[in-house]
Amino acid sequence: MLTVYDLKNQQMLQQPNFWDLTTGFDSFRGVSFVGSFKIIENELLPRFKTIKLILGMEDNRTGQKMEQVYNVPRRVQELEAASDTFLNRISDESLQLRFTKKDLFHSKYFLLENETDFVLFNGSMNLTKQAMTKNHEMVWMYHGQKNQPADQAIYQAHRALFKSNFTEDSTDYLNRKLIDQIRGKDRQTITAVLTDEVANEVNTKVSLSKDEITAVSDDQAREKVLKPHWVKAVQAVYTPKGNKRRDQSQANENAKVLYYQAFAQAEKRVIQANDLYPKPMWTYDEDERAVLVQNTVTNQYEPLVEPELTKEDLETFIDVVDSFRTNKVRDESLQALTAFLYLMTAPMIWKIQEIYRHSNFSRSADQVPLSLVLIGRGTTGKTLLVRDYFKPFTGDTSPSVQYAEINNSNSARSERAVNFLDHYLRSKRFISPMIIDELYENFFHLKVATNAIKQWSNTITGIHNTSVFAMNHNASSKGINNLEEITKRVYYLSFEAGWLPQADQKYDYHILQNSLNDHLYRTVVYRLNQRLNHLSGDEESRLIHDYLSLTREILKEILADFGFADRLATIIDQHYDYKQDQNKTIWRMLLAENNFKNVYFTDGDDQHFTVSKAIFNDLKSNMYQNNNETLDNYFNMLPRELGIGIVQNDIGMVLNIDKFDHFIGEPLVRRYYERQHQKDHQQDALSQLIALQQKESKQRAIADQKRDQLLNELAKKQTQKSTSFFGRLFGKEK
């Protein structure tokens, strides 16, 4: 388990989440072995604006450096699996990957920065899931401020070390200039480009000693193990004594042929499709109108029976849903509950579609989506759901399935994935949902995928399964395909909010995961099948209006039976709408970017606010032709039935404060209104105080004037009396 010693605070952190310790930093530099580019894609890219990573070695076994240089098939596979975001970040140099020129990198250290702070990590941990969660690893951490003299020595020393390692001791693992040559190309083309690049690197950048070469090229010197194809490629380029063969051009072409052969052999070892199917499999007996579940011991299919559901089963389920409210920076419990509702409906989706086809309420069966897609950025909970929660919740004991496994890569060429899903959907047997993690981020923009989705929805009838996907959607990806022809067939759920620091989270997801079982899932599916078998007219009407309606009703009944009717009451009847959710985000970003500079209030009106059209003048990435079109589109994002929009005109729009805030999900405008009017009240109070002070000052001045006047009069009278007395006195003397 990972242990981190905090040097600054002199304390040991036991089993911390490494990524939680990186929160707040936007620059990442470091040296580490990585098992694959997946950890770069999933963890580094969403968190950091700039990344400079030197790829180290896992250990110091013979030939490691030669393998890092000459294992072209591995590089090809990594690039085929890489997303467009990954390639774009390489191209614009916000992601730079390098490897050794001469001596192996075995150190592991990381320097993270933002404008004011930095944090250093140094120790045994590599950037691998194994190292972070399972191995016994020890790392020290130092968090400092750039403007503090006491922090300068350690900060500058590590900056200098990394600069030397990065600029002098390493070279590009992937030259950004190659991206355009390999993007979207077939495997053979990518292999040819990278093989030529390796030859160039060896000639100009990478230093290979004769001992390093002969340790691989000389069969007598190297260990007696099966030759990987990269070793054969080295032997095509070098003689057993470590000298380059005379005709290097021909040697390079021979190496390419060996790499092509390696891929050809690998393609013959494709995983059998049924090895990736859920276990145990569920099917349906149409004659008996009953769900059948495979017995994992006998492999025989047996009728699904309603299990004994306990209070603890319900509590765990509720806590899982609630954790997406209490453990996150923003409430996403509605999305989590909706995902579970779809999952519990999934085995009966085919049956609900059949009801739609024969119903008198006239709604097309393609309004019932065949796929659920959980969309997120980095670690926002989508993979947690499909891998750690959905599997035990459905009783699926099979390993988590990655998109790259069903497609043999994570690239834009998705024919294999589509064929895999098509084969499973058309089996006419299985009703277990197929759960796929790490879906290619632009999958729903690919013509082969969108055509297949429409065809499945329009042509597949009878028994079939559904698909549940988890997909990363980074800022640099294409926008989500929101065309109605897709959204009515694919149900999007967005998970974008980050997690609170671990210490602030109410629930431990490890405990939740270990406590989940399939009792609730089996109960709901069993009862849903019974209800669909004996559907009343009212139930059919509700089902046609909302294909999840019966599942909601069954779950509410179960919650009420166990005394939990109020636990999910605020969200269980809500209908999640991805478009509306994205509109909320767009409006939040608009106001945040503008900082309320073009938001106004009318004196005496605490119910409405005005958004000026000028707010769109500096709008980044404005997709509309002009401000009038932008104004129209933003106004139309607000649901009319909520009564948010009061009026729209040539200069802007007037909106209801509280209804807008209810739509957004937080008192955004109301808080701003109160802040503004608090300033006004403070200004009024100050003005009143000044006026009072001035009044009091004026009154004091008048009082002082009267007092002075009275004293003057008294003094004058006293003078007059004195003069009269002495006058009379001296007058007599005269």
Question: Could you tell me the strand order of the sheet in which 645-649 lies?
Answer: 599-600, 608-612, 652-656, 645-649
The H or E element that residue 109 is part of is strand 109-113
Task: Judge whether 703 lies within some domain.
Answer: no
CB atoms within 10 A of CB 455: 11
Q: Are residues 556 and 587 in the same domain?
A: no
User: At residue 723, does pLDDT exceed 70?
Assistant: no
Q: Are residues 548 and 654 in the same domain?
A: no
Task: Write down the pLDDT at residue 260.
Answer: 65
Out of 198-207, 238-247, 550-559, 584-593, give the one with best mean pLDDT: 550-559
User: At residue 60, does pLDDT exceed 60?
Assistant: no
Q: Are residues 434 and 534 in the same domain?
A: yes
Identify whether the C-beta of residue 280 lies closer than 8 Å to the C-beta of residue 296.
yes
The H or E element that residue 356 is part of is helix 349-358
Can you tell me the mean pLDDT for 382-404?
89
Task: Write down the pLDDT at residue 724.
Answer: 57
Task: Judge whether 727 lies within some domain.
Answer: no
User: At residue 729, does pLDDT exceed 60?
Assistant: no
User: At residue 108, does pLDDT exceed 60?
Assistant: yes
User: At residue 465, does pLDDT exceed 80?
Assistant: yes
Task: Write down the pLDDT at residue 683.
Answer: 63
CA distances from 337 to 105, 345, 400, 415, 570 (A): 47, 12, 21, 32, 11
Nearest to 381 by CA among 515, 498, 514, 491: 498
CA atoms of 409 and 232, how far apart (whole Å): 24
Q: Which tens digits make up the pLDDT trace of 575-622?
A: 998 888 888 888 988 898 889 999 999 988 999 999 999 888 866 554
The residues facing 656 across adjacent strands are 608
Least confident of 76-85, 154-163, 369-378: 76-85
Least confident of 84-88, 527-531, 657-661: 84-88
CA atoms within 13 A on the CB side of 155: 18
Q: Are residues 551 and 582 in the same domain?
A: no
Task: Judge whether 387 lies within some domain.
Answer: yes
CA atoms of 680 and 168, how far apart (whole Å): 60
Q: Are residues 98 and 222 in the same domain?
A: yes
Task: Write down the pLDDT at residue 115.
Answer: 93
Q: Are residues 604 and 556 in the same domain?
A: no
Task: Write down the pLDDT at residue 659.
Answer: 95
User: At residue 66, does pLDDT exceed 70?
Assistant: no
- For residue 589, give the amino acid letter: M
Task: Write down the pLDDT at residue 530.
Answer: 96
Q: Are residues 90 and 187 in the same domain?
A: yes
φ/ψ (deg, to 5) at 528: -65, -40
Structure tokens at 511: 């405990």
Task: Judge whether 274 lies within some domain.
Answer: no
CATH number at residue 404: 3.40.50
Three-state DSSP at 67 gives helix
User: At residue 270, does pLDDT exceed 50?
Assistant: no
Report residue 699's pLDDT band, with 50, 70 and 90 as the boundaries: confident
Beta strands 290-294 and 282-285: pairing type? Answer: antiparallel
CA atoms of 87 and 98, how far apart (whole Å): 15
The H or E element that residue 139 is part of is strand 137-145
Task: Write down the pLDDT at residue 147.
Answer: 92
Least confident of 211-225, 281-295, 537-551, 694-708: 211-225
Three-state DSSP at 471 gives strand
Task: Write down the pLDDT at residue 223.
Answer: 46
Beta strands 490-495 and 599-600: pairing type? Answer: unpaired
Report residue 570's pLDDT band, with 50, 70 and 90 as the boundaries: very high
User: At residue 317, does pLDDT exceed 60?
Assistant: yes
Report residue 399's pLDDT band, with 50, 70 and 90 as the boundaries: confident
Can you tell me the mean pLDDT for 635-660?
92
Identify whether the C-beta of residue 249 lies closer than 8 Å to the C-beta of residue 192.
no
Number of folded domains that form the chain? 3
Higher per-residue pLDDT: 483 or 725: 483
The H or E element that residue 533 is part of is helix 519-533
Higher per-residue pLDDT: 556 or 167: 556
Domain that holds residue 373: 309-561
Task: Write down the pLDDT at residue 650.
Answer: 86
Can you tell me the mean pLDDT for 316-344?
96
Q: Which tens digits make up the pLDDT trace of 129-166?
A: 787 877 888 999 999 999 999 999 999 999 999 999 88
CA atoms of 708 and 702, how far apart (whole Å): 10
Can you tell me the mean pLDDT for 386-398?
92
Task: Judge whether 729 lies within some domain.
Answer: no
CA atoms of 243 and 232, how far apart (whole Å): 15
Examine the fold and report which residue of 561, 593, 621 is the final residue of a domain before the chain moves on. 561
Examine the fold and report which residue of 635, 666, 697 is the final residue of a domain before the chain moves on. 666
Higher per-residue pLDDT: 286 or 622: 286
User: Is the C-alpha dihedral spanning 434, 440, 443, 446 positive or negative?
Assistant: negative
Q: Are residues 126 and 259 in the same domain?
A: yes
Q: Are residues 587 and 494 in the same domain?
A: no
User: Whole-number mean pLDDT of the chain?
Assistant: 84
Q: Which tens digits make up the pLDDT trace of 429-443?
A: 899 999 998 888 888
Q: Are residues 394 and 517 in the same domain?
A: yes
Distance of CA 176 to the CA centre of its chain: 26
Task: Write down the pLDDT at residue 478.
Answer: 65
Question: Could you tell me the strand order of the sheet in which 27-32 lies?
Answer: 11-14, 2-6, 137-145, 117-123, 109-113, 27-32, 50-55, 95-100, 170-172
DSSP-assigned states of every residue in 655-716: EEHHHHHHHHTS-HHHHHHHHHHHHHHHHHHHHHHHHHHHHHHHHHHHHHHHHHHHHHHHHH
Bond before 280 cis per omega within 30 degrees: yes
Can you tell me the mean pLDDT for 28-51?
87
Report residue 324's pLDDT band, with 50, 70 and 90 as the boundaries: very high
CA triple 24-30-32, angle to 5 deg: 120
Task: Judge whether 382 lies within some domain.
Answer: yes
User: At residue 734, does pLDDT exceed 50?
Assistant: no
Examine the fold and report which residue of 614, 649, 666 is the final residue of a domain before the chain moves on. 666
Q: Are residues 94 and 226 in the same domain?
A: yes
Q: Which tens digits make up the pLDDT trace of 376-389?
A: 877 788 888 998 99
Q: How far apart are the first and last CA of the chain?
A: 123
The size of the chain, in residues, is: 734
Task: Write down the pLDDT at residue 406.
Answer: 87
CATH number at residue 167: 3.30.870.10
Nearest to 45 by CA among 501, 379, 411: 379
Distance of CA 687 to the CA centre of its chain: 50
Report residue 224's pLDDT band, with 50, 70 and 90 as the boundaries: very low
Task: Write down the pLDDT at residue 586.
Answer: 86
Q: Are residues 57 and 143 in the same domain?
A: yes
CA atoms of 36 and 279, how far apart (whole Å): 27
Task: Judge whether 284 lies within some domain.
Answer: no
